[in-house]
Structure 1
Amino acid sequence: MTQSVLVSSDIEIGHHPTFSIGSFTFNSDTVTSTVIAGIIVIALGLMLRRSASAETPGKMQLAWEALVDWVTTEVEANLGKLNPFVIPLAVTLFVFILISNWVEVVPTEHKVPPATADTNLTYALGLVVIIAVQVYAVRERGLGDYAKGFLEPYPVMAPLTILEELIKPFTLALRLFGNIFAGGIMLLIIGLLPAYLTPLPTVPWKLFGMAIGVIQAFIFALLTILYFGMAAQGHGGGHDEAPAKEHEPELQPA
């Protein structure tokens, strides 16, 4: 039954409308979704900046500060004190990916699918994160100690350690893509089935898809933070070092 529904529909797995600029070809639906998500994130940031107040913070400011404070506390309790840019980067990625995931619930007949259902975007996000992690590791530990980390715990393990670093952007990208793409296909199939086969309306299924979007955005941001924490400690993420905050001198009151 499901197969006949799919055959009679216009669903084409992996198909994207494209446009070309010179010798480069772009997926127009992915570009549109990415631009929409980017505009929403920037607009939220500008609104928050405009309404930010130390005396009378609004609901959006309180929610944002609570999120950042919670993430910062959890990260420093488990990984130690990281560079100040890590938490804002992870939170920004979470918001951007979340909005990108939620585009699929907009009733546009799949004309504007979630940008994260295209590997072109998820690969780009994964590469940006892993390149930033490697640069961060070199700056925090020095080039010599960074290169030495590939030889730990035994030099013979170096190929596997290098392979692990090379695989990370692909695992980040494909985990996000696979879950969001599958969720979009599920919503399409449910929408095409006859009413007597779907006693529940489509709204609960869309809410379920939104929940999956939240989980996947959270996992991506969490892994980003973990990769930065491991980079600061070494490729193996050694736990023999105490968190940095334990070594900070206590501030004496003036």
Structure 2
Amino acid sequence: MPIGEGDFWVIHVDSLIMSALIGLVGLGIFFMVGRRATAGVPGKFQAFIEMAVEFIDTQVRDVFHGDRRFVAPLALTIFVWVLLMNSIKLLPLDLPPGIAAAMGAEYFRAVPTTDLNITLAMSTTVLLLMFAFAIKAKGPGGFGVELLTAPFHGHGVMKLVLAPANLALNIIEYLSKPVSLAMRLFGNMYAGELVFILIALLAMAGGDFMAAEGLGTKAGGVAAFLGAVIAGAAWSIFHILVVSLQAFIFMILTVVYLSMSTEAH
């Protein structure tokens, strides 16, 4: 459901709605677990959440060597949010669009991470955090000097000669990080969505063949339908790994980039 014209100023309302709803679901899960948490033997779900929190904290501790009081919760939020958004595609392909169609929407994108606008917005936030962490660690002056003097260090007049090249390289380095974050997540999720659609079309083709007359055609329809079921199940199992892996990669690269921003070149 796009609002606006052009490629840059368009707003995808369906992606924004799904992102917000999924974020609220994630907050609700952790709020529920926090309210019901016990100091004794935890239940299975509480134990699972505690293992996830401990796992993320361990990863952050290994990568980020500064104060983790902001970075660790940020990493946990990113991981859970991206994981839940990716997991929407494990639902039946036509379920979210069917619900939206019943409410009057002609088109509805169910998986927010298949929208490049959403992944770019998230990676742009990471870029702003990189600037904030760099300025906090080095000061505004130190950060500005680093942009002009790294990676090629010179002395005297050579500092001025190399300053434009250093600035250009640093701009490219900073911009390439959020672009790679956004494109990696979007590309993997969008490609996976296309495979699910192709498998669903195979099942529909099988149904059309089964409805047609002729023994050979019916046999082909049955084969196509069974092939689609088997392929869909196999791809869903494989995509569980892809869904969790992409959430982990987005999270760990965010922590790595924030750690690099606090280090001197």
For residues 33-112 of structure 1, what are the structure 2 equivalents within 5 Å? 33-109=18-94, 111=97, 112=109
Q: 1-side partners of 2:238 and 2:110: how far apart?
A: 16
Give the match's secondary structure for 2:11. Answer: strand
**Deviating more after overlay: 30-39 vs 168-177:** 30-39
Q: 1-side partners of 2:242 and 2:236: how far apart?
A: 10
Give the match's secondary structure for 1:87. Answer: helix
- C-alpha contact (below 8 Å) 2:199/2:231 kept by paired residues: no
Partner of 2:247 in structure 1?
A: 217
Look up the equivalent residue of 1:186 and give its one-letter code.
Answer: V
Q: Residues 144 and 113 (structure 1 numbering): CA distance in 2 closer, same or farther, change over 3 Å?
A: same
Q: TM-score, normalised by structure 1?
A: 0.76
Partner of 1:204 in structure 2?
A: 234
1:166 corresponds to 2:175? yes
RMSD after superposition: 2.2
Give the match's secondary structure for 1:33. Answer: helix
Look up the equivalent residue of 1:130 and give its one-letter code.
Answer: L
**Which of the numbers 164, 171, 185 marks the counterpart of 1:176?**
185
1:135 corresponds to 2:166? no
Q: TM-score, normalised by structure 2?
A: 0.73
Q: 2-side partners of 1:31 and 1:37: how far apart?
A: 10
Q: Deviations over 1:1-57 (max 9, x none)?
A: xxxxxxxxxxxxxxxx3346xxx7532331332133122112112112211233443
Look up the equivalent residue of 1:18 and give its one-letter code.
Answer: P
- C-alpha contact (below 8 Å) 1:76/1:82 kept by paired residues: no
Q: 2-side partners of 1:38 and 1:170: how far apart?
A: 23
Partner of 1:189 in structure 2?
A: 198
**Which of the numbers 8, 13, 38 marks the counterpart of 1:28?**
13
1:227 offset after TM fit, Å?
A: 0.7
- Unaligned 5+ runs, structure 1: 1-16, 237-254
Q: Deviations over 1:90-134 (max 9, x none)?
A: 111111111111111212516252100001110110011110121
Q: 2-side partners of 1:58 and 1:144: how far apart?
A: 51
Q: Residues 27 and 71 (structure 1 numbering): CA distance in 2 closer, same or farther, change over 3 Å?
A: closer
Partner of 1:232 in structure 2?
A: 262
Tell me how many residue pairs correspond in the alignment: 216
Q: Residues 83 and 77 (structure 1 numbering): CA distance in 2 closer, same or farther, change over 3 Å?
A: closer
- Unaligned 5+ runs, structure 2: 98-108, 154-161, 207-221
Q: 2-side partners of 1:136 and 1:123: how far apart?
A: 20
- C-alpha contact (below 8 Å) 1:101/1:180 kept by paired residues: yes
Q: 2-side partners of 1:149 and 1:70: how far apart?
A: 34
Q: Which has a greater percent of helix?
A: 2
**Deviating more after overlay: 179-188 vs 83-92:** 83-92
**Deviating more after overlay: 110-119 vs 50-59:** 50-59
Partner of 2:122 in structure 1?
A: 125
Give the number of the structure whose alpha-carbon radius of gyration is greater.
2
1:174 offset after TM fit, Å?
A: 1.0
1:84 offset after TM fit, Å?
A: 1.1
Look up the equivalent residue of 2:134 and give its one-letter code.
Answer: A
